[in-house]
Every structure is written in structure tokens, then in C-alpha cells.
Amino acid sequence: MSTVVESVDVAVPVRTAYNQWTQFEQFPQFMEGVTEVRQLDDTRLHWVIDIAGVHREFDAQITEQHPDERVAWTSVDGPRHAGVVTFHRLDDSHTRVTAQMEIEPNGFVEQVGDKTGIVDARIKGDMKRFREYIEARERETGGWRGDVGRPVP
């Protein structure tokens, strides 16, 4: 399994960055190879991806989601992967968004892409495109402020 970590500083408040990231169905706007993301309910997503001629569909489960802090997930079928995106307030109008993903390449094409750094480059590109996407808008297209996975005190 490979681990990729990438951060990007965005010129929007932490609330705006977080709210936009929770708009999972907008991911194809800035994630290369992501054809569709359907939110099935508050914690389940269905992904459709087409990368280097390989078509994959899979479901993912949100395991943690805390407003303005983090969103974590794991796949429940299809390619094995898990990750977390964290949001760090730099000042009133800037946020550091960090994605950490663990991906297990499935099949020859994915293994070659992983070993040659293509997967890492793709995630770096997706984060850069997220910055461009949200900064061009200056505001989120929506937001979900629910809390998933936080222990009850």
C-alpha cells in the first residue's frame, strides 16, 4: 500500500474550504479521472473513475467528519484505499488543506502508475486544481456541517 501526502494553501477561510470539500458530487470539477461521485447518504459515496483506460466503480464510507477540521473515509469495495483531508486555519482568509491517502494499486496499470509516481502527481494536481476551483469561486457551492464519528461525551 502506498501513502501520499499533499498540502495546498488556499486563499479562503477554513469554513469555505471545508464546506466546498463536503460537496463530494463536485469532485469531478477538479479531480482528474473522476467521472462521477454520488452521495448515497450522509456517510456513503459511490465513485466512478476512468484513469488511463481503466474504469472503476466503488463505494466509500465516511468514517469521520468534523466541521472545519477533517473528513476521513475508507473504501468498502473495489480498489482498497483510505484517507483523511484536514483543514488548518492559517489566518482569517487562508487555509491549509492536507490530504493523506493510502492506496493499494489494483492491477498492472495501477501498479505501474504507483511505482512511476503518476498516482502521487495526480493527487498533487487534484489539490492544485481544488485551490484554483475554490479561489476562483471565492465561496463554496454548498456545505454539510454534520458530525460523523465523534465520540459522545
Residue 72: inside a domain: yes
End-to-end CA distance of the chain: 35
Residue 142: inside a domain: no
Count of CB atoms within 10 A of residue 38's CB?
Answer: 12
Question: Which stretch of DSSP H or E encloses residue 47?
Answer: strand 44-51
Packing angle of the helix pair 14-21, 118-137 (nearest 10 deg):
120
pLDDT, position 118? 73
Domain that holds residue 129: 2-137
For 40-65, give one letter per residue: b (16+ CB within 10 A) or e. Answer: eeebebebebebeeeebebebbbeeb
Question: Strand, helix or coil at 112?
Answer: helix
What is the distance between the alpha carbons of residues 11 and 153, in angstroms, rounded to a whole number?
34
pLDDT, position 81? 87
Query: What is the domain count for the chain?
Result: 1
In the chain (153 residues long), the average pLDDT of successive 10-residue segments reads 91 97 97 95 94 86 97 90 96 98 71 63 94 93 87 56
Residue 143: inside a domain: no
Q: pTM value? A: 0.90
What is the distance between the alpha carbons of residues 127 and 65, in angstroms, rounded to a whole number?
19
Beta-ladder partners of 86: 70, 98
Residue 53: inside a domain: yes
CATH number at residue 95: 3.30.530.20
